[in-house]
Structure 1
Amino acid sequence: MPPIAWIGTGVMGRSMCERLMDRGARVFVFNRTKSKSAPLLERGATWCNSPAEAAASAHTVFTIVGYPEDVEQVYFGSDGVLSGLDRDAVCVDMTTTSPSLSARIAEAAAERGAHALDAPVSGGDVGAREGRLSIMVGGDEQALARVTPYFEIMGQNIVYQGPAGSGQHTKMCNQIAIAGTMIGVCESLLYGTRAGLDLETMLRSISKGAASCWTLDNLAPRILARNFDPGFFVDHFIKDMGIALQEAAAMKISLPGLALVHQLYLAVQARGGGHHGTQALSLALEFLAGHEETEAL
């Protein structure tokens, strides 16, 4: 497997990169905090001192960082990916970020004779570890053909959505659906608690019927166990919902359900829960209901 550059070794990025290394990929890695790359360096990855250095080391560059401003810096900074990108190289941003920024990256890459894809993912920490991510791809379709072998190691559902920015728009649809599902699951558990049900028994019924979904299977059990460790940070989900609301406003559409969930997550963040997993939405609802378990926050 040809060498790759990997920029961003957080909860998702590290697991995704490890899967590629398991298949024999030689990796040139950069992360803003070097210590977070230690597990990859111990396995043989080569450290680079900047995104530009990483990009200059390989013809395929993957990035997955936190916020749009991080993507902006990683690509357009003085030592960013674009300044080190070789002609005909492919850069793949797997961060969830704004569609307009993805389009700018694609334009800037094309000016350098290179290619860019926006390829945000869904599936959480479990999907990243097990290679079961859904990957939503926008950009140059020929570039997608070149990186599909890498995607197939990281995910199981790889779908081309259209021109640059389309992958990000699709991820916004994904996050809108998750937001609505999450509040439904949390309210269901709160209702079941007040009704005196055994929640594990209740979940065995509803998770196999019309309510069946990934959130019930993976996050509801964590809520019952009072496990709010992050598969995906509240802080990052608030960022994603903010992008979706901003894009919706630009398209002159109203998303009142998303706006409500966004406000509830801001309440979780305000109470110190920004680094919890998204299942911590239950804490905001429990607090509003006067539930004693809210002390877990």
Structure 2
Amino acid sequence: MTDASEPTDSADASTSTDAADPSTTTVGFVGLGIMGLPMASNLLDAGYAVVGYNRSDEPVETLVDRGGEAGDSPAAVAERVDVVVTCLPDSPDVTTVVLGEGDEENPVVDGLSEGMTLIDTSTISPTVTERIAGELDEMGVSLLDAPISGGEEGAVEGSLSIMVGGDGATLDAHRPLLDVMGETVTHCGPSGAGQVTKACNQIVVACTNVAVSEALVFAEKAGADLDAVVSAISGGAAGCWTLDNRAPRMIRGNFEPGFFADYQYKDLRIATDAGEAFGAPMPATELSHELYKSMVENGMGRDDNSGVMQVVELLAGTEARVEDAD
């Protein structure tokens, strides 16, 4: 595994490795969606005992079929485990499920005890993260904000990039667990820094998706061979994850979700709100946000985030497609 952070004190690291030993650590996993279920499954495969909760039953049943256990509520999960991982859609979901500020009668916080750690892999507002960290700290509970990137493929393969905010020693204590779910685990700074870093990630992802979409639609309008264009520019300075992993699907009209456009739209809202709060202009991000808004409003929110090309196609009055030989 790779890590861009500085090593912490060796004594802390030695103690912390034992704290996340699969043979002695039970993990609670709250939020078993398109990302959460494969992440929890990888923990099971690595030897961790996992107790899961989701508001819909089907993913919990799948987790149980794979060797996990079911919790009756977020609080019930927290009561039975050593560390809790959450993977939820947005800031209100996290404050509801973790703190009980919404309609959740048995939130995670009711089952936490002093000395525990909550690892939140959701992508939410940095300021909300800082508030949650403060409330948990008053209970003697540590928070690591650890948003993830890599899509469903990365979650399944255990190759996610995990951007962590929080105490370095706490990260060391749970690094073995995070290493199961991610290929790159980076300590980005104090609480909230993981979310700031994830916002940076989503800015680049969204703007890249839009740029690739524009390029492919332009190539179609100009009569170029789309497969040849993708191959050619992938090998040069424009080479990127989207060209390698999404462009061949995009030009075949395959927008099966690896990461929902709904979530990309939400993440861009978080980024633009944070940009305004910190006084950072985001002209390209704001335009991308509008294109994703159009995508969601046109009923494409459950498509892959690369499906923003469909909005560019609507603007161009054409579809950038290739037809494979049977």
What's the TM-score bracket when you normalise by the shorter of the two chains? Answer: over 0.9
- Please tell me whether the aligned partners of residues 122 and 147 of structure 2 are also in contact (alpha carbons under 8 angstroms): yes
Aligned-partner residue type, residue 6 of structure 1: F
Matching residue of 1:20: 43
In 1, Cα distance between equivalents of 2:36 and 2:252: 26
SS of 2:88's equivalent? coil
Matching residue of 1:92: 119
In 1, Cα distance between equivalents of 2:188 and 2:280: 21
The residue correspondences of 1:196-207 to structure 2 (distance < 5 A) are 196-207=223-234
Offset at 1:230? 0.9
2:68 corresponds to which of 41, 45, 63: 45
The answer as to 2:82 corresponding to 1:55 is no
Superposed CA offset, 1:61-99 (max 9, x none): 000011111001111114111111121111000000011
Matching residue of 2:222: 195
- Please tell me whether the aligned partners of residues 82 and 108 of structure 1 are also in contact (alpha carbons under 8 angstroms): no
- Please tell me whether the aligned partners of residues 231 and 277 of structure 1 are also in contact (alpha carbons under 8 angstroms): yes
The residue correspondences of 1:211-290 to structure 2 (distance < 5 A) are 211-290=238-317
- State the TM-score, normalizing by the size of structure 2: 0.88
Matching residue of 2:27: 4
- Please tell me whether the aligned partners of residues 222 and 279 of structure 1 are also in contact (alpha carbons under 8 angstroms): no
In 1, Cα distance between equivalents of 2:85 and 2:219: 43
Matching residue of 2:165: 138
Deviating above 2 A after TM superposition, structure 1's stretches of 4 or more consecutive aligned residues are: none
Superposed CA offset, 1:221-241 (max 9, x none): 120221111111111111110
| Aligned residues between the structures | 294
Matching residue of 2:236: 209
In 2, Cα distance between equivalents of 1:141 and 1:32: 32
Offset at 1:253? 2.4
- Please tell me whether the aligned partners of residues 220 and 319 of structure 2 are also in contact (alpha carbons under 8 angstroms): no
In 1, Cα distance between equivalents of 2:182 and 2:95: 25
SS of 2:303's equivalent? coil
Pair 1:158–1:62, CA change in 2 (3 A): same
In 1, Cα distance between equivalents of 2:242 and 2:320: 20
The answer as to 2:142 corresponding to 1:115 is yes
Offset at 1:261? 0.7
- Please tell me whether the aligned partners of residues 102 and 164 of structure 1 are also in contact (alpha carbons under 8 angstroms): yes
The residue correspondences of 1:70-109 to structure 2 (distance < 5 A) are 70-77=93-100, 78-109=105-136
Offset at 1:4? 0.4
Matching residue of 2:17: none
Offset at 1:265? 0.8
Superposed CA offset, 1:147-179 (max 9, x none): 100111111111101110000000011111112
- State the TM-score, normalizing by the size of structure 1: 0.96
- Please tell me whether the aligned partners of residues 60 and 91 of structure 1 are also in contact (alpha carbons under 8 angstroms): yes
In 2, Cα distance between equivalents of 1:204 and 1:40: 39
Aligned-partner residue type, residue 109 of structure 2: L
- Please tell me whether the aligned partners of residues 3 and 25 of structure 1 are also in contact (alpha carbons under 8 angstroms): yes
In 1, Cα distance between equivalents of 2:162 and 2:138: 26
Offset at 1:208? 1.3
Q: CA RMSD in A?
A: 1.3
Further displaced range: 129-138 or 245-254: 245-254
In 2, Cα distance between equivalents of 1:288 and 1:117: 42
Offset at 1:104? 1.5
Greater helix share, structure number: 1
- Please tell me whether the aligned partners of residues 59 and 86 of structure 1 are also in contact (alpha carbons under 8 angstroms): no
- Please tell me whether the aligned partners of residues 59 and 88 of structure 1 are also in contact (alpha carbons under 8 angstroms): no
SS of 1:272's equivalent? coil
